[in-house]
Amino acid sequence: MLIDLGGEPFMTLISLLLLAAALCAGLIAGAFFAFSSFVMGALGRLPARDGIAAMQSINIVVINPLFLGVFMGTALLAVVLMILAWFDGVAAGMGYLLGASAFYLVGTFGVTMIGNVPLNNALAAAGPESQEGAAIWAGYLKRWVLWNHVRTVAATLASAGFILALCEIA
């Protein structure tokens, strides 16, 4: 059974959360798009030892409160929005909201955890100067970029879905 949590002020809360989710998913999509469209291409043009060292450095620096706050905060917003919409019985925009949340949680957050992070961990253990490192790097570039394309598209679709959900309930 759905619970009415208070009408119009509650819808304002959902609207604000949808706006935040749309903006944050868009920021993540933009960051991933940059890697897909030119950062990884530039790193791939470097000698393997330099590309490995640069990516290892990026993978360390990306673990910061600002990026992780937006990346993980968007996942949290998606879950909170689904729960709030369910309990309030929000019908308008529910399909967009659920779709956007699924794209973000599965296609962005999930793909990062099962695709990109394991590859990053393997690269972290590689010696940039070693032949093993060069072999890992060649495979890493192809697989990491493929997963990154998936999460770029998913984050973009999530942002669009949150925007469409906001338009439906506004």
Give the pLDDT confidence of 78-120 residue by residue, as tens digits: 999 999 887 776 677 889 999 999 999 999 999 999 999 999 9
Rounded (5°) CA angle 29-140-105: 35
Residue type for position 78: A
On whether the CB atoms of residues 28 and 148 are closer than 8 A, the answer is: no
pTM of the model: 0.91
In the predicted structure, residue 3 carries a pLDDT above the cut 60: no
pLDDT digits (tens, 9 = 90+) for 117-138: 999 999 999 999 999 999 999 9
Query: Looking at residue 129, what is its pLDDT?
Result: 94
Domain boundaries, the chain: 8-169
Beta strands in 59-104 (DSSP E): none
DSSP type of residue 110: I
Q: What integer is the mean pLDDT of 18-41?
A: 98
On whether the CB atoms of residues 79 and 105 are closer than 8 A, the answer is: yes
Q: Within a 13 Å sphere around the CA of 90, how many CA atoms are in the beta-carbon half? A: 31
Query: Looking at residue 2, what is its pLDDT?
Result: 33
On whether the CB atoms of residues 100 and 25 are closer than 8 A, the answer is: yes
